[in-house]
Amino acid sequence: MSNSSNSTSEQSTPTPAQDVLVIGGGMAGLAGALALRENGASVTLVENAPAFGEVGAGLQMAPNASRVLKRWGLLDKALDIGVQPKHLVFRDAVTGEELTRQSLGAEFEERYGAPYVVIHRSDLHRILLEACQENGVTLLNGVFVEKVETEGEKARAYAANGDIYEADAVLAADGLKSTLRKAVAEDAPVPSSYVAYRGTVPITDATPKADLEDVIVYLGPNCHLVQYPLRKGELLNTVAVFKSASFERGEEQYGGVDELEEAYKDCVPAVQDALKNLATGIRWPMYDKNPIENWVSGRMTLIGDAAHPMLQYLAQGACQALEDAAVLQEVTQGTVFTEAGIDASAWEGAFRDFNEARAGRTARIQRTARVWGESWHVSGLARTLRNLLFKSRGDGNFQYNDWLYGQSGEGVPSVEAKSTKALAN
């Protein structure tokens, strides 16, 4: 690795070539690195931050994502530290009335081939990070890649510190505010006008018992609140998301903590009390982008939020990053990774296959997350209709889950992927 220059000039000496360079050390980058390493690639992952880690609080891992962990032999680790909630419960935030519930027990797990798990983001991140380390992914911090040359014999990634990385293929996993997405789209994040605050607090004897077993979502006009337990029931996770009045007024730093109480003033005491659990030091304005069809530029593909940033209402951001990695693992088997060894000329085609397999599904999830979120925040007649609709749904009714959690479908990773690792190494 060259440290001799802080420019991106051609004079820099490239680092020793690897098969795959992954740019970004979030969920998508780690999962993508692990998936291709599992296939037998030599993988280097570079991350801009000075250390690997995750900010944030809880994360809901639906079965479509826990199936991927299961494939990689990591599900037990997630279950050791996470919680399997008994139900997903929706309540009206103004009346407290229960609107609908989905049991997450044996029938659910059997139908979808894996359990519903809630886990601290940092715990899932650490599980993936350790798996990368144990499997020999090279992990580098403090590297900000500004640009990638994606055409030619090798892709070349230019870091802000002057380093240049050569690789046969690049995964651009640099998230919502992706720098590398510019290679295929010039779009900026779309603000949703909603802001989230999160928090985890220790569970005590005073914590309402019901909050310890379920994922509970309170739906209110222009706001909602989510609660569930973490760390084997030691922590209570709370997320409050509300429409910012100051965003509507056009202010740049919108959704300050001063707006919190007002946003929930019509809600039941259980919701208002839960606001005390929030860590108000970090404000999370919620963004997504419109779906785009093409994620691939030559030897580079976008993956995770860089490819399909979505609003959080379906809790699928991390889940879709895991799905991306699993499908990438599949499409490169038998193409890039063959019985005869690695065929570096097959990367571009494999990336296009990956893109084609995944873009439809992730676009649907991006769009559905927007509408689903809208339906959480309605008032007046639409709220009446929403509540009647939710209440009309029987617990055993999987029609709203199958498309997302089901084990088959366009772009859904196979349940059991055959490993070509032994062949490719």
Catalytic residues: 228
* CB-nearer residue toward its own copies: 333 or 387: 387
Count of CB atoms within 10 A of residue 360's CB? 14
* CB-nearer residue toward its own copies: 257 or 388: 388
Measured CA to CA in angstroms, residue 134 lies from 26, 82, 99, 261, 365 at distances of: 17, 21, 45, 46, 33
Alpha helices in 113-228 (DSSP H): 121-134
How many residues bind to its own copies according to rule CB under 8 A?
A: 13
Minimum CB–partner distance for residue 82 and its own copies (Å): 32
Minimum CB–partner distance for residue 409 and its own copies (Å): 21
Our finding on whether 381 is near its own copies (CB under 8 A) is yes
Largest Cα–Cα separation, the chain: 67
Our finding on whether 198 is near its own copies (CB under 8 A) is no
Of 382-401, binders to its own copies (CB under 8 A) are 382, 384-386, 388-389, 392-393
Count of CB atoms within 10 A of residue 284's CB? 16
User: What count of Cα atoms within 13 Å lies in the side-chain half-sphere of residue 172?
Assistant: 32
Minimum CB–partner distance for residue 424 and its own copies (Å): 47
* CB-nearer residue toward its own copies: 66 or 102: 102
CA distance 113 to 357: 21
* CB-nearer residue toward its own copies: 279 or 389: 389
DSSP 3-state of 99: strand
> Over the range 368-387, which residues count as b (16 or more CB within 10 Å of their CB) and which as e?
bbbeebebbbbeeeebeebb
Minimum CB–partner distance for residue 371 and its own copies (Å): 6
Instruction: Locate 353 and state its tokens.
Output: 């296959």
Q: Roughly what angle, to the nearest 10 degrees, separates helices 63-71 and 317-332?
A: 40
Minimum CB–partner distance for residue 165 and its own copies (Å): 46
Our finding on whether 402 is near its own copies (CB under 8 A) is no
* CB-nearer residue toward its own copies: 84 or 368: 368
170 phi, psi to nearest 5 deg: -125, 130
Binding mask 356-375 for its own copies (x = CB under 8 A): ---------------x--xx
Where on the chain is the footprint of its own copies (CB under 8 A)?
371, 374-375, 378, 381-382, 384-386, 388-389, 392-393
